[in-house]
Amino acid sequence: LEFAVQMSCHGCADAVRAALDAAPDVKLLELRPQEQSVLVETTAAAERVRELLENSGCRAVLKGMGGSSE
């Protein structure tokens, strides 16, 4: 899943990382504060991941999703 996340500083990026690290079913693949983009691999619902991201204090919206090749 790829999310657009409003991260205005490195503190925001750290908060996003901490929020996702607390969820065992979410694996952070890429965190790009300059592009305001977060890429995760998860078995959780997209809405659940969005809630985790927004619990960090940043607004988030789903940009896209892809399937596994497995």
| CATH code of the domain in which 37 resides | 3.30.70.100
- Residues 28-42: pLDDT tens digits? 999 999 999 999 999
As a whole number of Å, the CA-based R_g of the chain is 11
Residue 62 has pLDDT above 90, yes or no: yes
Domain that holds residue 19: 2-64
Residue 63 pLDDT level (bands cut at 50, 70, 90): very high
Residue 25 belongs to a domain: yes
CB 3 within 8 A of CB 37: yes
Residue 52 belongs to a domain: yes
Residue 70 belongs to a domain: no
Q: CA-CA distance, 16 to 69, in Å (whole number)?
A: 27
Q: What's the number of domains the chain is made of?
A: 1
**Amino acid, res. 33:** P
pTM metric for this prediction? 0.89
Residue 36 belongs to a domain: yes
How much of the chain exceeds pLDDT 90, in percent? 87
Residue 69 belongs to a domain: no
Please tell me the predicted confidence (pLDDT) of residue 12: 94
